[in-house]
Amino acid sequence: MLLFLGLAQAGLNLAAASPPQPYGPVPTERQLLWHDLEFYGFVHFTVNTFTDKEWGFGDESEQVFNPTAFDADQIARAAKMGGMKGLVLTCKHHDGFCLWPSQYTEHSVKNSPWKGGKGDVVRELSDACRREGLKFGVYLSPWDRNHKDYGTPAYITYYRQQLRELLTNYGELFTVWFDGANGGDGFYGGARETRRIDNRVFYDWPNTWKLVRELQPNACMFSDGGPDFRWVGNESGIGGEPCWATINGAGRYPGGASEGLNSGERPGTDWVPAECDVSIRPGWFYHAQEDSAVKSPAHLLEIYYASVGRGCCLNLNLPPDRRGQVHENDLASLREFRRILDATFATNFAQNARLEASQTRGGDDRFAAANLVDGKRTTYWSTDDAVKTPELVVDLGRPVTFNVVRLREYLPLGQRVDAFALDAWVAGQWQEFFRGTSIGNQRLARTEYKTASRLRLRITKAAACPALSELGVFAEPLQQRGPNVRRNPQGMVTLQADGPGPQIRYTLDGSQPGPKSPLYEKPFPLPDGGIVNAQSSLPDGSSASAVASVALGVSKTHWKVVTCSNWDGGKGKAEFAIDENSSTIWRTPGKTGEHAEEIVVDMGATNQLTGFSYLPPLQGAANGIVSQYQFYTSLDGQSWGDPAAAGEIGNIKANRQLVVNKFGKTLKARYWRFVALRAVEGDTTAVAEIGVISY
């Protein structure tokens, strides 16, 4: 009997095991192609580049669009150099200005001075992408603040005519990006009014999607809720932990609720993976005043690990400047980011490792652990249906120092793993060093550096037997971080090296520190603020760290609230707007109708001001985030004159961050007054911090 069973088992093992059944929703062919891209770029460029806005009102003259040296090849080469696989161009942003000579509107490049009205940015950039071997995609804003018919059915006809032009005249597109943003008011052919639409029905999306499928069958469509890939719920480039590729698609539409978009939903009814969209600068469009605020290589790496490393695609915006080229500072940051990534992934220490799985599906070599290191996405390690929590020991053969482990699931079988853990064999025992949840297209576990010759993967929870297609072990080159820059309440700045190089050189004028820059010896006063750039190195100047760059506003030590129109009891007092604490909020009670709240502050001394800053609440509901404001200054707190700055804060709801607004001149003032005229939603006003700058 025993012998008989043994033979039967041996017989079973010889017979080829069948592949596992897919679990839950699975990707389409076109989604698989999109997953493969992992990293591509956005190009935000339009009249806003020339008017210094994030959202144009729609009344901009075509005359303002006039890049002095537009160079599509320079932009495409920058993307290629950064390792991007494609570019998505804002062919029409919310202001309605078209970067191609659409035959359905006069509001386009054809009436601009650029190339005498004969230019076509879409043509030039799509051609340049092809020359560089990059894919090309289009962004066509559904919200159009210029068009007279916006809000009526005639507009949908217009929108589809434009879309058809883009879908048919510029070759193959890899994506069509449908933005959900809509702020209501606009120029609308001169009506200058607020037009509210019902996002669920107004655009009749199913028929627009049909058009895309028919004319560009391989293009993946983006919107908050899909159909092909979704918004990740923030514009800072950060996927959730977990970040499932699945969501419950019912009831979702472009511009709909963002609940569940960051983490996805499990098991979910639809495969709609997330795209992390983020700009290399604070804004989506180029503003010269942000030249010193380009994200550092270290920041870009954090974004990469939190997006591509969590199974999403990363869409990183490179906004061309007024020449029509990617700015030098953006290029420098992107280049260093790429250099570090390439150095990291050049060597996979698991390549020749001996892999020992606790179980292999049917004992069949087709599902063997060796598939994890064969460099192919189409082969995978799997186990018997009943074995959902297997383990895998990776013997590297020699001690290796690493800090990144890469895992991939075989996507055609769905997202199967719920949770996993990684252990390293240290001092004679297994030590857990990472716990994760979703894997999907790719999971990069970035950890402290570990040295070990063996590691272990434990699948700790799975909805179905796992199907993993890759395991890699890598080490990031050691990067020396820039010094810590801190200012105390008395206005004294301390610099502290964060690495072996004890010598710190710094600048206060925005330039890069070099051998001739001042040497830091002791804390120095900087009550008026400025831009501190600091770099540490060995005494002979070698082993230089990254440059730490910190923009400091005028110190608030002696500031006092003089008056405030309203506050919400003790929970929302006005002092919270100037307490240097981003998590305390000045909040006014709800108030319907005309919405104007204000705060007046005495800075205790006269300052030379060049601008002000507004920080919205970074967490919680968007209720009260200011979208229309006025900012006044005064020497005596009595006479105020015209606002030093006023207008709309475009896109602040989706992209919550510090807004810095420069006056364009220097103003002497002891008092300032901030007036909130409108909020993105709700009837309160919410201010985490107001500051002023003097740089």
* 276 is an interface residue for ligand FUL by CB under 6 A: no
Contact footprint for Ca ion (CB under 5 A): 576, 579, 581, 584, 689
Q: Exposed, middle or buried by CB within 10 Å (0-12, 13-18, 19+), for 432?
A: exposed
Does residue 95 bind ligand FUL (CB under 6 A)? Answer: no
Task: Give least dist CB 626 to ligand FUL, A.
Answer: 16
Instruction: Compute the distance between CA of residue 75 and CA of residue 36 in angstroms, rounded to an integer.
Output: 22
Cβ-based nearer residue to ligand FUL, 545 or 651: 651
Provide the minimum distance between the beta carbon of 584 and ligand FUL in the complex, in angstroms, as a whole number: 28
The residues in 440-469 that bind ligand FUL, with binding defined as CB under 6 A, are none
- 174-193 positions binding ligand FUL, by CB under 6 A: 179, 181
Query: What minimum distance in Å lies between the beta carbon of 579 and Ca ion?
Result: 5
132 lies in the binding site for ligand FUL (CB under 6 A): no
Residues 16-55 that bind ligand FUL (CB under 6 A): 54
Identify the CA nearest to 56 among candidates 186, 213, 163: 186
Q: Burial level of 193, CB count in 10 A (0-12/13-18/19+)? A: exposed
Q: How far is the CB of 648 from ligand FUL (least distance, A)?
A: 12
Could you tell which of Ca ion, ligand FUL, none binds residue 179, using a CB distance below 5 to 8 A set by kind?
A: ligand FUL
C-beta closer to ligand FUL: residue 270 or 275: 275
Determine, following the binding rule CB under 6 A, whether residue 60 of this chain makes contact with ligand FUL: no
Q: What is the DSSP letter of 522?
A: S
Pick from ligand FUL, Ca ion, none: which does 576 bind, CB < 5 to 8 A by kind? Answer: Ca ion
Can you tell me the distance from the alpha carbon of 507 to that of 491, in angstroms, rounded to the nearest whole number?
Answer: 17
Kindly provide the residue ranges of all beta strands, DSSP E only, lying in 301-388, ordered along the sequence: 313-317, 354-357, 381-382
HSE toward the beta carbon, residue 464, CA cutoff 13 A? 17
x/- letters, 587..626, toward ligand FUL (CB under 6 A): ----------------------------------------
Torsion angle defined by CA atoms of residues 676, 680, 685 and 691, in that order, rounded to the nearest 10 degrees: -60
H helix intervals, 493-569: none
- Is-contact 162 146, C-beta < 8 A? no
Residue 314 or 688 with smaller CB distance to Ca ion: 688
| Residue 654 interacts with ligand FUL (CB under 6 A): yes or no | yes
| Burial of 302 (C-beta count, 10 Å sphere; 0-12/13-18/19+) | middle
> Which one of 50, 100, 187, 284 is in contact with ligand FUL (CB under 6 A)?
284
Minimum distance between the CB of residue 688 and Ca ion, rounded to whole angstroms? Answer: 5
CA 202, CA 324: separation in Å to the nearest integer? 35
Q: By CB under 6 A, tell whether 640 contacts ligand FUL.
A: no
Cβ-closest residue to Ca ion?
584
Nearest approach in angstroms of CB 689 to Ca ion is: 5
**Rounded to the nearest whole angstrom, what is the least distance from the CB of residue 459 to ligand FUL in the complex?**
36
State the nearest-atom distance from the C-beta of 278 to ligand FUL, in Å: 9
CA 245 → CA 228, 255, 536, distances in Å?
11, 19, 42
Please pick, from the candidates 441, 469, 634, 651, the single residue that binds ligand FUL as defined by CB under 6 A: 651
The two structure tokens encoding residue 120: 């076509």
Measure the CA–CA gap between 628 and 646, rounded to whole angstroms. 8
At its nearest, how many Å lie between Ca ion and the CB of residue 482? 26
Residue 584 interacts, among ligand FUL, Ca ion, none and using kind-specific CB cut-offs from 5 to 8 Å, with: Ca ion
> Which one of ligand FUL, Ca ion, none interacts with residue 633, CB within 5 to 8 A by kind?
none
Helix residue ranges per DSSP H, 196-309 = 205-215, 297-307
Find the binding residues for ligand FUL in span 291-330 (CB under 6 A): none
Closest to ligand FUL by CB, 138 or 181: 181
Nearest approach, Cβ of 653 to ligand FUL (angstroms)?
9
Binding site partner of 420, from ligand FUL, Ca ion, none, Cβ cut-off 5-8 A by kind: none
Closest separation between CB of residue 320 and Ca ion, Å?
35
Determine if 648 is a binding residue for ligand FUL (CB under 6 A). no
d(CA 92, CA 56): 11
Residue 654 binds which of Ca ion, ligand FUL, none (CB < 5-8 A, kind-dependent): ligand FUL
As a whole number of angstroms, the distance between CA 598 and CA 574 comes to 10
Judged by CB under 6 A, the residue of 62, 132, 277, 470 near ligand FUL is 277
Residue 540: both structure tokens together: 């002979």
The pair phi, psi for residue 422, each rounded to 5°, is: -120, 135
* Residue 579 interacts with which of ligand FUL, Ca ion, none, CB < 5 to 8 Å by class: Ca ion
Q: Residue 258 binds what, of Ca ion, ligand FUL, none (CB under 5 to 8 Å, by partner type)?
A: none
Tell me the site size for ligand FUL, rule CB under 6 A. Answer: 7
State in Å, rounded, how far the first CA of the chain is from the last one: 88
SS3 sequence of 656-685? CCCEEEEEEEEEEEEEEEEEEEEECCCCCC
Burial letters for 442-469: b for 16+ Cβ neighbours within 10 Å, e otherwise?
bbbbbeeebebbbbbbbbbebebbbbbb
Shortest Å distance, C-beta 179 to ligand FUL:
5
> Which residues bind to ligand FUL, rule: CB under 6 A?
54, 179, 181, 277, 284, 651, 654
